[in-house]
């Protein structure tokens, strides 16, 4: 079989559709943008879209489907969001009910799917600029923390922003800001540099989600808005049914990371 | 009376609220961002927001109000959109019914107001960079054209993009792209440079909206996505009731133009 890193997004999606592959997508179809998935019923879709609109750093919208239509026309017009991710999570009234490899049995006529930008894109940009990403080096999940920064409310959707942290060598901090600022559609510039306490993080050694990573001498903790935010907040609303990708099992779009670069 | 150009947005909005002033807003509260207004009933709001989301260059969303609440919390939390613009247009079933100085009698519990970025912001940035804007020089309205570029459809909202044209000296074209690229929230970079015909404009001397402006030797026509697009497209849907600002009579926000600059 061809290397997964060199395959086209459509080829990999076909493997997911046929259930020939069910694993995390990091490193697949290199250079192509991966996305978080959130599926809600239409009665919540307007307020959720408004929430994303008001909180573009944690919730950068790449595509929203027409109600009932599982096709992301802007980012992968030949894909079917019901089958083309490796693994999904079904949440009922805010509780994880099941993990499945397709959502054909759950899809309804009034469902709207949201694809939100993911940090893989800007991490690749950091690496391309010679700035190593610690949790990739250490083979761990990124460290994520709840903050005291409130998101801007929309309808029932409200709560604190979740951030991811990457330790950056002092000499590279400015460049890390510049590099990630180029990608506002995938979380963009950091939201905080340097002092975890001032954004409500009491113990940097104890992330709320993901894994602890090593912070070395001469490194500054840099914080980016995290795509876990909208899922965490949607969960609080306890919708009758919400579907997301399983952690790390993202949707692979047809667009290349560089297409999201501004200047 | 204090110069309108130096007054604060809240002071000028109060004059509008009290109907002490009813004129176009160009040049008022210098340095503060002005916005286009579109008000629709909630049943169309999700699809209209989706349309804006899918067409960010012609429809850059600055703020969307909660249904029924006329307060733009993000851009001017003390303003009331029913009274704080100098002049409004009421459209019924796609036809202009009336121009009014407040919309208190038209406002209903299920209305949603959209504030969309306006070209005043990037024009000021051009001027600050030594690039003169012809229609300002000539004291005219900007020249606007229908194109053959289709917007991305959302629900009932579909149709061609409307663009504005500014003639730019050849030596300044690259800088004009750079300067306006910094402001994606107010139409951003041009969508076309140089050849009107290739975007479906047959006669550059005959704009579809606004005024003809002079193109001098050594100047290139440069085209930006225009905020008239969403209004023109909403009109085609012939909503029972749609309210907009009257042309040139914009909403003045509390945010400064530079706050919309990326990098």
| Structural domains present in chain B | 4-118+231-260 (3.40.1640.10), 120-229 (3.30.2040.10)
CA-closest candidate to residue B37, choices B116, B92, B141, B144:
B116
**Cβ–Cβ under 8 Å, residues B91 and B236:** no
* Contact flag B50-A64 (C-beta cutoff 8 Å): yes
- Cβ-based neighbours of B250, under 8 Å, separated by 6 or more: B25, B34, B35, B36, B37, B85, B118, B120
Number of Cβ pairs < 8 A linking chain A and chain B: 44
Residue A2 has pLDDT above 70, yes or no: no
Confidence of residue B87 (pLDDT cuts 50, 70, 90): very high
Contacts of B178 in chain A (CB under 8 A): 263
Cβ proximity of B122 and B60 under 8 Å:
no
CA distance linking residue B247 with residue B26, whole number of Å: 11
Comparing CA positions, the residue from A252, A257, A244, A255 lying closest to residue A4 is: A252
Query: Which residue in chain A is spatially nearest to B75 when comparing CA positions?
Result: A54
| Cβ separation B50–A42 shorter than 8 A | no
Contact at CB, A50 and B54, closer than 8 angstroms = no
B237 vs A: CB within 8 A = no
Cβ contact B262–A184 (<8 Å): yes
pLDDT tens by residue, A192-238: 999 999 999 999 999 999 899 999 999 999 999 999 898 889 888 89
List the one residue out of B27, B59, B36, B32 whose CA is nearest residue B185.
B59
User: Quick one: pLDDT at residue B235?
Assistant: 83
> Nearest-5° angle of CA A224, CA A94, CA A39?
70
Chain segment B101-114, per-residue pLDDT in tens: 999 999 999 999 99
- Whether residue B126 contacts residue B146, with contact meaning beta carbons closer than 8 Å, is answered with no
User: For position A260, what pLDDT does the model report?
Assistant: 86
Residues A26, A24: Cα–Cα separation, whole Å:
6
Name the nearest CA neighbour of B43 among A206, A232, A67.
Answer: A67
Q: For the residues of A119-162, what is the DSSP string, one character each?
A: THHHHHHHHHTT---HHHHTT-PPEEEEEEEEPPPBTTB--EEE
How high is the pLDDT of residue B2? 66
Residue B61 at interface with chain A, using a CB cutoff of 8 Å: yes
């Amino acid at each position: 079989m061809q290397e997964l890193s060199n395959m086209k997004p459509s080829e990999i999606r076909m493997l997911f559709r046929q259930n020939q592959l069910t694993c995390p997508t990091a490193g697949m179809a290199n250079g192509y943008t991966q996305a978080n998935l959130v599926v809600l019923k239409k009665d919540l879709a307007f307020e959720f879209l408004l929430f994303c609109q008001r909180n573009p750093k944690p919730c950068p919208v790449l595509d929203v489907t027409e109600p009932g239509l599982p096709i992301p026309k802007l980012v992968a017009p030949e894909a079917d969001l019901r089958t083309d991710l490796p693994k999904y999570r079904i949440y009922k009234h805010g509780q994880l009910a099941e993990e499945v490899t397709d959502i054909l049995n759950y899809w309804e006529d009034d469902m709207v799917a949201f694809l939100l930008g993911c940090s893989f894109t800007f991490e690749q940009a950091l690496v391309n600029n010679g700035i190593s990403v610690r949790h990739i080096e250490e083979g761990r999940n990124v460290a994520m923390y709840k903050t005291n920064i409130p998101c801007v409310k929309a309808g029932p959707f409200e709560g604190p922003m979740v951030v991811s942290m990457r330790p950056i060598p002092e000499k590279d901090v400015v460049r890390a800001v510049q590099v990630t600022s180029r990608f506002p559609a995938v979380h963009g510039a950091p939201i905080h540099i340097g002092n975890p306490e001032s954004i409500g993080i009491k113990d940097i050694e104890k992330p709320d989600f993901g894994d602890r990573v090593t912070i070395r001498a001469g490194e500054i903790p840099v914080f980016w808005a995290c795509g876990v935010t909208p899922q965490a907040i949607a969960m609080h609303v306890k919708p009758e049914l919400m579907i997301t990708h399983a952690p790390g099992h993202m949707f692979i779009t047809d667009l290349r990371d560089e297409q999201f670069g501004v200047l």
